[in-house]
Amino acid sequence: MNQDDTLWSLEERLWTSGRDSARTMMASGAIVVLPYPDGILQGDGLWSHPAVNTGWRLVEMSDRTVARQGDVAVLAYRVRATKPDVPEYEALCASTWLSDAGTWRRLFHQQTPVA
């Protein structure tokens, strides 16, 4: 598996895994920007916020783009995600990943809903 495949696999796991698993893949002090009214969340506080709700059952990522410079990679994509009792969610997303001593950790994530 090449580095791009690894990063996309990690990104998908953050959508589909539970909170505890997702927490292990995030960098210390990570920032997440969610649609209004949730806004900007950072560090450990983001895990107690109800909007940070991983565990989507079906995730389709399209229009995938990767930019990499040294130990930093940026993923940009369109996502369609579903889970029981929640309306289908579609957004444009960007995530910044940092290779920390050879382990990729997500440092930043942003979502813009597709209207």
* pTM over cut 0.85: yes
16-41 pLDDT tens trace: 987 778 888 999 999 999 888 888 98
How far is it, in rounded angstroms, from Cα 15 to Cα 57? 8
Asked if omega into 37 is within 30° of 0 (cis), the reply is yes
Please tell me the predicted confidence (pLDDT) of residue 53.
65
How far is it, in rounded angstroms, from Cα 89 to Cα 70? 33
- Is the pLDDT at 51 greater than 70? The verdict is no
Is 84 in a helix, a strand, or coil? coil
Please tell me the predicted confidence (pLDDT) of residue 21.
81
Please tell me the predicted confidence (pLDDT) of residue 20.
78
